[in-house]
Structure 1
């Protein structure tokens, strides 16, 4: 008999707790102000500008990410052969953090692939031009831009979100020609 009473009390407590949670969520009192799901984002260009004001170097890539219902830009910058990741709130534009990759400095100082590292930054077209080429081909929002070397060819890897889903476009960084378009399901 005592077990039945405890089960009833426990069930009532769970139901009451659920009702209070639903009520609080409908009133917006549970951390809904932290969500960036329905808010307008700053542009990638603005995120790049903010990041370069913090770390003056060469932007290697920009990516829009989401974590725990919060959107942010991750801007990768190379300065004096050191990689920095600058994290920028996609709604407010505030810098959320900076990560410095010191392991790359040791690699460069040993003289390994030093010329390769420098060649990746020298291209005929800029990141902005590569984005423009990609957007002429696919109508969408750019979520990631990265400069990379693949089999001796320097290319821009541009990720767009379109009405067709996610689309990856590779563009030759010297000629501006589209190398590959990959539609992801």
Structure 2
């Protein structure tokens, strides 16, 4: 008689364990859905980015305001309104401009007397500014090395050489490409995998 009581109890425990296991398995199913959502979010963010003005278009708008040398262009997607920030040196003044990344509307415009920092000194560059390639030409040279979205272009000087630093993101890797600002040659290329930055 005792054997009969233990067998139904063991069967009941197994059945209960099976139900708990099945519920645990079912509760994990939704956890796989975020992958689909992540793909959808990435796709929608890519489609939004496709609506952004190109660096060429923003350069043209900026140079229409201040005809000089673009020293920095950066796309800021983290702000409430994605925008480009553009710095230009022209006629002894520094222009700081912000453009809506989609419409191209000027969001902010500042003009200050030129006050270059130590690593980009007037005396070192001076009239040579006229002989520099444009930021658009630097971007084209950099994109011949790495395809992707340009995040930033900056004109800088080091060890007597003036160069553009172009940052390109291809979805997996961030590229920093250094382009000689006089002849457009590639003088450096550094990469950083997205996994390394997490």
Structure 1's unaligned 5+ residue stretches are: 1-35, 108-112
After TM superposition, list the pairs within 5 Å mapping 1:24-173 onto structure 2.
39=48, 40-102=51-113, 104=115, 113-118=121-126, 121-123=129-131, 125-173=133-181
Distance 1:139 1:166 in 2: 10
Structure 2's unaligned 5+ residue stretches are: 1-44, 194-198
8 Å contact 2:92–2:113 — kept in the other structure?
no
Displacement after TM superposition at 1:124 (Å)? 5.2
Number of residues of Structure 1 aligned to a counterpart in Structure 2: 144
User: Structure 1-normalised TM-score?
Assistant: 0.67
8 Å contact 1:51–1:75 — kept in the other structure?
yes
Flag the 1:146–1:68 CA change in 2: closer, same or farther, 3 A: closer
User: Structure 2-normalised TM-score?
Assistant: 0.63
RMSD of aligned C-alpha atoms? 2.5
- Larger mean CA deviation between 157-166 and 85-94 belongs to 157-166
Distance 2:110 2:78 in 1: 17
Task: Report which of the two structures shows the higher radius of gyration computed on alpha carbons.
Answer: 2
